[in-house]
Structure 1
Amino acid sequence: MTPQKRRQPDSQTQPPALPKSERILYELIKSRKNTGIWTADMKRETGLQNIVVTKALKSLQSKNLIKDVVNVHNKSRKIFMAVEFEPSKEVSGVHDIHKCIAASRVMKVECTMQQVLEIVRALALDKEIEELKSTGTAEF
């Protein structure tokens, strides 16, 4: 049995048939790749009304085309990205964890950010730490 690999994001694939407002937002969100885009920036860049943006985002989420992620630098901001992308290190906070570990001098050797990310994932799998998913309301 061979392990399945996650399909790489392909910018050439066409999104499914979407209403105009959803298509505009989906293309904008997908263009931001792994950094995502804040809701207020979407409204400003598209010129769409608040209610239209909110409904379109809910519809895109229900169609599993986009997801919301927590930005560790500003937890109250709702950031959206296409489902095929993983959040960048700046958004996910791995860089901050790396700096904290280096400053605390807990480890005798230097660790790369990739090694820190692997340690954090292993701790989450061992249930030593708990991974929290955003509810979008800044409450956990």
Structure 2
Amino acid sequence: MNEIGVIDPAAKSWQQNNDTEHWYRFAYDQNIRCDHVTNNMTKAFNNMLGFYRDASYLQLLEFVRRMIMRKFQERKEECETWNFVLPQRVNAKILKHGRESRLLTIIAVWNGEYEILGPTGGYGVKLREYSYQCGYWQMSEIPCTHAMATISH
């Protein structure tokens, strides 16, 4: 943040006056559909390779193919234990957002558009377009607290 302050003091001031949940997503590509970023993917992948890092290309590709097949099988077995249509983590987030949405005030604007007022400020929600000003719903495709409030409204 100090480096940003040297380049643009106004940007640093804006970041300090706004919650991180708002400024760390401002330039996020909403088409990616992921709310988690891992910056050390190459390091993690190299760690998984182990012995095969020094193997021939054919051996390396065969190792990666088997690793992916095992991962698909593990995920298939995990999915068969689910009691819900949604994964447990997603279901838990939706339930949490539903509980938190009860504390918000909803103002219907027009034709599926709402303004949601809460402790962190006001946000616009376009329910028909599945969009919300903070971008959480667009990134993760999981309705946020504000979207849950409009859905229940």
Calculate the TM-score normalised by the size of structure 1. 0.27
Larger radius of gyration: 2
| Structure 1 or 2: more strand by fraction | 2
Calculate the TM-score normalised by the size of structure 2. 0.26
